[in-house]
A = this chain, B = another copy of it.
Amino acid sequence: MKTYLDCIPCFFRQALQAARLAEADEDTQRQILVMLGRQLADFSLDSTPPEMGQILYSLVKNQVGQDPFKEIKEKSNRYALDLYPELKNRVKNSSKPLRVAVRLAIAGNVIDYGVPRRFELKEEIEEVLSSEYGIFQFKELIQSLNRVEKVLYLADNAGEIVFDRILIEELLREFKPELTVAVRGAPVINDATLTDARQVGLDKLCRVVSNGSDAPGTLLNHCSPEFLNMYQTADLVISKGQGNFESLWGEKKNIFFLFKIKCDVVARHIGGREGDIVLLHD
């Protein structure tokens, strides 16, 4: 997906939010916005939004120091792990466990910035489990899963990967694919890396690889050869989160996108509404 002009004010909003979460002082916050302003001229609208995301989070990292979101991510993981037994039970006790697991995995995508509050996440889970979906191509996903062998699962955020774990456990149980989870190659915002995958035990379930890039999405031309090989040979890609959607939408590949629409630009792009929960086949 290309960058829309409406994304530009949002880049500044995100940079400010990231700088604050990283506990930059006010002068540093301002400096980050000023530097972002200077870089605008060099940024092409043909790039995808996560490319600017990569630039703006590297500005924050350079100003504040390595991985300012480390603690936030650890907390998100721990917090989601506390919920794991309860969520796992819901899936087990359901007559449609896979459908519930898919919905839970999308519910987990609400964990975006910062540590989610317990009641907010609980509310979100109930809403996602009970609500109508704007776009929910569940049947197509099942059909595809029945046909394929190699599945590549692109994770999104820390915390959220506990919800992914539940879906991955269901996928392995029902379809027994050769499943690999890819995470970011280096810390960017609260996106999951190998450290997070290990913290929530994903590495005990299946192969977990780094994509070799520190973009808050999957920019194929930035990813490692190892990851690219895996991407190219995968029969089916399950892509979590809006960042992965923004960078991969339009690629010639069998991809299912699972995410919550977090802005009006993406909503208009796919004909949905902000806040919609989507399971969308490219």
Contact = CB atoms under 8 A, between A and B. Distances in A.
Contacts of A30: 5, 45
Interface of A: 5-6, 8-10, 12-13, 16, 26, 29-30, 33-34, 36-41, 45
Nearest to A10: B9
Chain A facing B: main interface SS:
helix
Contact of A40 (B5, B9, B10, B33): B33
A3 to B, nearest CB: 10
Contact of A34 (B6, B34, B41): B41
Contacts of A41: 34, 37-38
A193 B13 CA distance: 33
A37 B13 CA distance: 14
Contacts of A8: 12, 16, 33
Q: Which 9 A-B pairs have the closest CB atoms?
A: A37-B37, A37-B40, A9-B12, A9-B13, A34-B41, A9-B9, A34-B40, A8-B33, A5-B29
A34 to B, nearest CB: 5
A234 to B, nearest CB: 36
A34 B16 CA distance: 18
14 contacts: A5-B26, A5-B30, A6-B16, A8-B12, A8-B16, A8-B33, A9-B9, A9-B12, A30-B45, A36-B37, A37-B37, A37-B38, A37-B40, A38-B38
A45 B37 CA distance: 15
Given A30-B45, A33-B40, A37-B37, A9 B16 contact: yes
A221 to B, nearest CB: 23
Contacts of A34: 40-41
Given A6-B16, A8-B33, A9-B9, 9 more contacts: A5-B29, A5-B30, A8-B12, A8-B16, A9-B10, A9-B12, A34-B40, A37-B39, A37-B41
Nearest to A36: B37
A161 to B, nearest CB: 29
The residue among A5, A26, A36, A45 with the most chain B CB atoms within 10 A of its own CB is A5
A30 to B, nearest CB: 6
Nearest to A40: B37
A54 B37 CA distance: 18
A197 B253 CA distance: 60
